[in-house]
Structure 1
């Protein structure tokens, strides 16, 4: 090789080396991304309510008197504990009490008359029997016997009529007592007084059909609680009574309560400007654990549909469209990998094929520049 060509070759090598050096120093810095190692663990398939549910009391009633009237007695305050059968409110009732007294007097009179009539009837029957015995021996005439028997039959009829009057008086007294019960509110079960509408001396009006009148007293049993929650109609066919669930309450962040699905509504609710939903009732696994929750708390329900133990899993947020993930290669370059998935929830997704345990995948997919072929570095490594 001549000296001229040797010089050209050296120049070409120097230019190539310089270009390579410039390309090396001009290369973009690797992107810092959040990564997660593929591991093994539990994955649950679950569904959650579409809107906030609500903590409810197993027994809750809005009580009103049957008749309207002025409040004469109010034996409780809001927040009081009451027992079943305890009188909570009574309206003015002097007129009804007077009717009860009249009915009691009429009943006493009817019973007295019945005793008198029946006593006379017994005596008349005995007299008729004596006359029949004397007639058999020829001491009295047949007409005397017939007169005695007729009198006995009449007295017996009078006794029966008097007893019927007693039964009528008893029913009249029972009706008066029923009328008296129309102005009294009695606790149907033990519980807590949630709300009272009205004060002593005010007029209490019962709620007629179709008219939204506030109840006089609202009573609830907070010793037994459950959660009612709306579920999307698409998820409803997969929900069955007896399935396990978890309840979270906004007022107690980070705390979860074990529960069980008790009821799935047999119809779909359609509310204006909202999704079509199916209401479910969820019972707390432990009422003692739920004690202290307030009726009306907003709550969320997560129903467990299926559970897989010790399976390969990835964060659900790491999945891209088409069930692909970005795997961090040994050289720091991202590789797109398609995976086969199984049971999934909002936190984890089961991977049945496409990944191996220990491989690192990107979870910060929203960052600019994160795509297949990009050079990346884990955030922890970037900080070091």
Structure 2
């Protein structure tokens, strides 16, 4: 028979042992894994289209200029990086022969004008003489034949005046021909801009590009007062794009900055490049000229906004699994699988139309081992 004191000691010992075992279990049991969660809230959601490869900043006007005729450069009027005005001479070719032809044409024109003036003076005088002879013939002082001869002489001299006037026009045309020949030897700026590159030096020969044989231009002129971005979009996204849509432009050269813009044009054909996806080139204008000086040729990315909902219930896109479900923190911080219906979406947020409510907390990442539905977790806010 167990004594009362001995029984009490046994109970106490058992309770102490159980408490120690429970404490040891509490201390050694695996802790719930920490996971990043996001709280569902309302905010703007956009459906966007982005370029498949880097786009390029381009100038609205860029001309690779060369003289109409080939020849030796005798004057180089500009340097690379220099700003020029419309009509400003850029370079001049050897043209002494054409200048001499222009001088000859000018002298021939002057001679023709003097001859015309002389003939017209004589014609006016002959007309006045014919008028006086006609009056005398009417009074019987001279014969009718003499009056007729005076009128014929006046008409003849008038015809000579008119013929020489036509000769003056021919001489004027010859002057214009000579001037056109000279203009072919002078390269001028078709618009105001900046000289990007000059190919050739004084004394060298330059020629225009024959058909099918590209040659370096004498002067590469860029109008950098108007810039836009050309970017390739996947052909699958092309039907969703149209001119006038809002867009955002980012530049690798200016990280952290976004420039608003809008779609100005879609290429009317699909570009097919070997070993690359078929794309459609999209041109995007800046809504306002950037304050920073942009260089033509900068790489750029375009995000065209197809649709936007300003006050939508949204979930981070990374929280949605491939099967269209999310893991939600339920009671006692255990994960639950929930299927949702979605609307607009982009890489950052997806609109939720059914399956979640504001305030719900969803799992952001799924790469932790053992994290699945039914597991108790320790939530931590996403950074």
The 8 Å contact of residues 38 and 381 in structure 2, kept in 1 or not, is answered as no
CA distance in 2, matches of 1:105, 1:372: 101
- 2:90 aligns with 88
SS in 1 for 2:332: coil
**Does residue 232 in structure 1 map to residue 234 in structure 2?**
yes
Q: Distance in 2 between matches of 1:211 and 1:98?
A: 33
Superposition map of 1:234-383 within 5 A: 234-287=236-289, 289-379=290-380
Q: Deviations over 1:138-184 (max 9, x none)?
A: 12122212211221111111111101111011011101101111111
Q: Distance in 2 between matches of 1:48 and 1:309?
A: 20
Counterpart-to-counterpart distance in 2, 1:367 and 1:97? 84
1:136–1:380 distance in 2 versus 1, CA, 3 Å: closer
Count of residues in correspondence between the two structures = 364
Secondary structure of 2:254's aligned partner: coil
Structure 1 residue 291: Cα displacement: 4.1
Equivalent in 209, 212, 231 of residue 211 of structure 2:
209
Corresponding residue for residue 136 of structure 2: 134
Q: Is the 8 A contact 1:103 1:173 kept in 2?
A: yes
- CA 1:111–1:372 in 2, change beyond 3 Å: closer, same or farther? same
Which stretch of structure 1 is more off in the superposition, 351-360 or 269-278? 269-278
| Matches of 2:292 and 2:123, distance apart in 1 | 68
> Bigger CA drift: 264-273 or 21-30?
21-30
Structure 1 residue runs without a partner (length 5+):
1-16
Give 1:208 shift.
2.0
Partner residue, 1:221: 223
Tell me the residue number matched to 2:56.
54
Does the aligned pair in 2 maintain the 1:195–1:218 contact within 8 Å?
yes
Q: Which residue of 2 aligns with 1:165?
A: 167
Distance in 1, Cα, partners of 2:186 & 2:377: 77
| Counterparts of 1:162 and 1:215, CA distance in 2 | 46
1:25 deviation in Å? 8.2
Offset at residue 23 of structure 1 (A):
9.2
CA distance in 2, matches of 1:230, 1:334: 42
**2:13 aligned partner:** none
**Counterpart in 1 of 2:10?**
none
Corresponding residue for residue 198 of structure 2: 196
| 1:268-315 Cα deviation digits (max 9, x unpaired) | 22222222222222111111x254011100000111111112221111
Superimposed CA distance per residue, residues 356-382 of structure 1 (whole angstroms, 9 cap, x where no aligned partner): 22221111123333332333323569x
Deviations 1:324-361 (A, max 9, x none): 11112232332111011111111100111111222211
Distance 2:84 2:346 in 1: 45
TM-score, reference length from structure 2 = 0.89
Worse-superposed segment, 372-381 or 67-76? 372-381
Q: CA RMSD in A?
A: 2.2
Deviation readout 1:1-27 (Å, 9 max, x if unpaired): xxxxxxxxxxxxxxxx9xx97998886
Q: Matches of 1:99 and 1:301 in 2, distance apart?
A: 56
| Contact 1:223–1:291, Cα closer than 8 Å, also in 2 | no
Secondary structure of 2:68's counterpart equals coil
For 1:137 and 1:369, the matched residues in 2 are separated by 136
Structure 1 residues 244-253 or 229-238, which shifts more? 229-238
- TM-superposed deviation, 1:322: 3.0
115-124 vs 372-381, which moves further: 372-381
- Cα distance change of structure 1 residues 351 and 261 upon mapping to structure 2, 3 Å threshold: same
CA contact (8 A) 1:284 1:290 kept: no
Match of 1:8 in 2: none
**Distance in structure 2 (CA, Å) of the matches to 1:159 and 1:44:** 81
CA distance in 1, matches of 2:157, 2:368: 108
TM-score (norm 1): 0.89
Q: Deviations over 1:118-142 (max 9, x none)?
A: 1111111112212211111112122
Whole-angstrom distance in 2 between the partners of 1:375 and 1:24: 15
- Separation (CA, whole Å) in 1 of partners of 2:144 and 2:375: 133
Higher mean C-alpha displacement, 157-166 vs 122-131: 122-131
Higher mean C-alpha deviation, range 368-377 or range 323-332: 368-377
